[in-house]
Amino acid sequence: MRVLIAEDERITRMTLARQLQAWGHDVTAAEDGQQAWEQFSGGVPFDIVITDWEMPQVSGVELVGRIRKTPRELYTYIIMLTSRSDKADIVNGIEAGADDFVSKPFDREELRVRLLAGERVVRLERALTLQNAELRDASERIRSGLRAAARVQQSMLPRQNIVTPHVGTAWKYVPTDELAGDAIGLYLIDDRYLVAYVLDVSGHGVPAALLSVSAMRSLEPDPAEMSILRTMTQTDDHLGTVQRPARVALELNRRFRAGENDGRYLTMILCVLDTFDGRLQMTCAGHPPPLLIRGTDSVTLPDAGGFPIAIMDVAEYEDGVTQLRAGDRLCLYSDGIIEQCDHAEDEQFGVERLRQSLSTRNGMAAEQVVGAVVDDLASWAGSEAFIDDVSLVVIEWRGR
């Protein structure tokens, strides 16, 4: 061990240095506290400092305090030499940062075992420092991977709001962690049919995000054979080449079989709006039903849908159909909004507050509305760090 001795009385200093050298330590002896401080602050990485208590200029307690205030990668074990036995003095020394005491005149055996204890602490601390550095590296690698994965996930979110003469949309997505279990989709198909969904995978983190991304891929609108959102030909469901929402949910449930997703499942609200005539068709797979805001009122939507996806292999889903009126606003959201607790964790935000937040902003543009709702939620929570992913989509139908 590299040991620094601070002792102003030279016979004790020499005796101590000689003894420590005999035990194999690399010893530097300083004639007082100031010289010891200069040695220490000069960058030599001393493992152990043995310091006298009373020294001119810089006392032992002051030296200890200075050492402890110096940021160092490795810990320095400090033993104070003292003829003092007053409890208050020992308390002062320990409070200043000393680790141990040895009485003067020092007993060789006592000093030897106390140094052994110090060496054990220094070695343990070194091992811990090394392990911490390895953990930090590993953590940074994981975080870097998560950030990259989050970029991939977020690149799959809607690129922009869909705005046509008939419809306006806005959305907001606030993941709790780097990766989210929530997903939002927003597509205009055949220049007429607006497809919107919010889905929410149970749980958080990487497993939930992987399932979420996989579901998003399945719901991509490209008219390929694998697409479950589109058909190759026009259907008789008044939805052009878009599949009925209930059929999409059924197919999604077939692909994400129960028990094959690490026990995870997903809920989803999927709707298809004919932007030309305001006919809304939707299915709700275990997801909170959307809100339809008409002026300052809200309209109850048909309770149509089925179980969450990947809960059971054989599931049935229904579509509900609603005729929108010009100016109606439809809000799809995840349970992260309504289940967000207040700062005292006494009460959830709830559907009613969401309804009020939406209906009191009836005159505002959809984009402002989604921002205001999330602001209301943050005020309610007392923080912008929500307990769950928050997803919100507002669709305004402007009429024929």
Locate 150 and state its tokens.
């989050």
Locate 278 and state its tokens.
């305001």
Q: How far is the CB of 14 from another protein (least distance, A)?
A: 7
Q: Taking CB under 8 A as the rule, does residue 14 contact another protein?
A: yes
Among 24, 42, 43, 105, binds another protein (CB under 8 A): 105
Q: Taking CB under 8 A as the rule, does residue 18 contact another protein?
A: yes
Among 2, 15, 254, 312, binds another protein (CB under 8 A): 15
- Taking residues 55 to 94 in sequence order and writing x for each that binds another protein by CB under 8 A, - otherwise, the string is -x--------------------------x-----------
Q: How far is the CB of 109 from another protein (least distance, A)?
A: 10
Stretch that binds another protein, among 5-13, 167-175, 198-206, 266-274 (CB under 8 A): 5-13
Q: Taking CB under 8 A as the rule, does residue 9 contact another protein?
A: yes
Count of residues interacting with another protein (CB under 8 A): 16
Among 41, 70, 91, 108, binds another protein (CB under 8 A): 108
Q: Taking CB under 8 A as the rule, does residue 10 contact another protein?
A: yes
Q: Are strands 193-201 and 182-189 parallel, antiparallel or unpaired?
A: antiparallel
Stretch that binds another protein, among 102-110, 274-282, 290-298, 338-346 (CB under 8 A): 102-110
Q: Taking CB under 8 A as the rule, does residue 12 contact another protein?
A: yes
Q: Taking CB under 8 A as the rule, does residue 31 contact another protein?
A: no
Locate 225 and state its tokens.
């054979």
Q: How far is the CB of 127 from another protein (least distance, A)?
A: 33
Contacts of residue 180, defined as CB under 8 A and 6 or more positions apart, other chains included, come to 153, 173, 204, 208, 209, 212, 389
Q: How far is the CB of 17 from another protein (least distance, A)?
A: 11
Q: Taking CB under 8 A as the rule, does residue 104 contact another protein?
A: yes
Integer CA distances (angstroms), 132 to 68, 137, 297, in order? 20, 8, 57
Q: How far is the CB of 84 from another protein (least distance, A)?
A: 10
Among 3, 6, 8, 388, binds another protein (CB under 8 A): 8
Among 52, 99, 335, 376, binds another protein (CB under 8 A): 52
Q: Taking CB under 8 A as the rule, does residue 112 contact another protein?
A: no
Q: How far is the CB of 134 from another protein (least distance, A)?
A: 43
Q: Are 67 and 40 in contact (CB under 8 A)?
A: yes
Q: How far is the CB of 63 from another protein (least distance, A)?
A: 17
Q: Taking CB under 8 A as the rule, does residue 11 contact another protein?
A: yes
Stretch that binds another protein, among 7-15, 213-221, 226-234, 284-292 (CB under 8 A): 7-15
Distance CA 297, CA 256 (A): 38
Stretch that binds another protein, among 10-18, 39-47, 86-94, 387-395 (CB under 8 A): 10-18
Q: Taking CB under 8 A as the rule, does residue 54 contact another protein?
A: yes
Contacting residues toward another protein, per CB under 8 A: 8-12, 14-15, 18, 22, 52, 54, 56, 83, 104-105, 108
